[in-house]
Amino acid sequence: MPQPTSGDDEPDPGERAPAGASFLTVRSGPAQRTARPGGPVVRTATPAPGVRDDLSVWPASTTRLVHGGIAVGGVPLTEVAQRFGTPAYVLDEAEVRERCRTYRSAFPEADVLYAAKAFLCRAMVHWVEEEGLGLDVCSAGELELAVTAGFPAERVVLHGNAKSPHDIEAALRLGVGRIVIDSPAEITRLAAVLGPGRRQKVMVRVVPGISAGGHEKIRTGTDDQKFGLSLTDGQAQHAITRVLARPELELAGLHCHLGSQITTVKPYLSAVRRMVGLMARVRDAHGVVLSELDMGGGHGVPYRPGEDGLDITALARRMRAELIESCAAASLTVPRLLVEPGRAVVGPAGVALYRVLAVKRTGDTLFVAVDGGMSDNPRPALYGVRYAPRLIGRAAAGQPCRATVVGRHCEAGDVLAADVELPGDVHPGDLLTVPVAGAYQLSMASGYNLVGRPPVVAVAGGHARLLVRRESLDDFRSRDVGH
């Protein structure tokens, strides 16, 4: 049986995107030019020689304004803060759409499904549909929001390690295209709900025994976590046999998701080889040629200047080549490829806005406290994500200093950005912005301390509009029905 590996057994010919960018960045003449497949060329002022471009992880539409201002989508962020308050999430619609188009261009022969868990609202549903992507959901809530917003259910895939009866009922009632089997119990449960005369297309989620991802808490390709069925110990093969024996279930293909924040191509290639090997064994044992292979997502993006992102074009090219080569070696028909990007579509399109409430020095640490925190972004507390906050709205007068940006919540671990560079004259009332805030922030936000979840504001063409309103005290009161 295959043993778990890191997938690093092949040469690395440069499958990372250039440091500090998840799309190709080149320099030409007096300005920086950001080139995106099928997209526009965006010009911004070039920093002085020797100065790192600290806008490299921001949306392509970002421009510097006088007196320390920043605009995204043609809208000054100070105006967004004044109009909608803080904390707030700002989402660049053009950036989201361009990233969808980049995936469609890179994977022309595959189905690209946006992973709704990263962020979902009605507007996002419309953008994804209009740009030709499918949808990957994990609950009845995500599914019903998408379908009631007009998204075609047959272009939706439902997965999750512990689907509730409500999840399954909603999926069957609305007619989702695929349901991903994640455990043996789901085979029996799904077949029983369907009953005689009904049939549902399914996939089996396989754990290939490959370690990949930015943190142990977001690695899902190894046997020591809750997702999927192991290839190593035969659980995946046994589940496939059981699915094929159920007339209510039609096995369309296999599903594999290695983890999140993966920045090299090699683990995906290793996974493709193992999945094709399993598909060949299914053909040999059962005479069934599976028509689909879903390789999940997990495509990494840089959160701070200088960090690596996954080169999507290289991923698409090399994954397709590996799939064709592996299938040829196994005398297997090449299946339809599916991929599920989430963070890489919406993460870099978002910016979070905060107002500084307090500044104080404790020992050797300068704490800058803002009006949000772990309730609107739990990721630093969960798995140590590091961000690059920036002061906006005024010119900095003080020399740069090291500071720790903390939230307002009653937890010592409520830290948004530790040991980052900020102007030494940062003070209460200042505005701080945090780029790469579009994914896994509002979707993971909580009601801790009842401060309310922030709004989401879309910017495009110089205009700002509210997509999701701020959670209010009335919302808390209306849910509290006891006495």
Helices (H), 216-341: 235-244, 266-286, 312-329
Establish whether 100 is a catalytic residue.
Answer: no
Contact 151, 131 (CB under 8 A): no
Instruction: Output b/e per residue, 140-149; b: 16+ Cβ within 10 A.
Output: bebbbbbbee
Provide the residue type at 344 as one letter: A
CA distance 62 to 72: 4
Q: Packing angle between helix 235-244 and helix 184-194, nearest 10 degrees?
A: 10
Sequence-separated (6 or more) residues with CB below 8 Å from residue 289: 279, 283, 332, 333
CA distance 455 to 372: 12
Contact 229, 235 (CB under 8 A): yes
Out of 256, 327, 401, 410, the active site residue is 410
SS (H, E, C) 227-256: CCEECCCCHHHHHHHHHHCCCCEEEEEEEC
What one-character DSSP code corresponds to residue 175? T
CA distance 38 to 97: 11
CA distance 93 to 462: 11
CA distance 156 to 154: 5
Residues annotated as part of the active site: 410
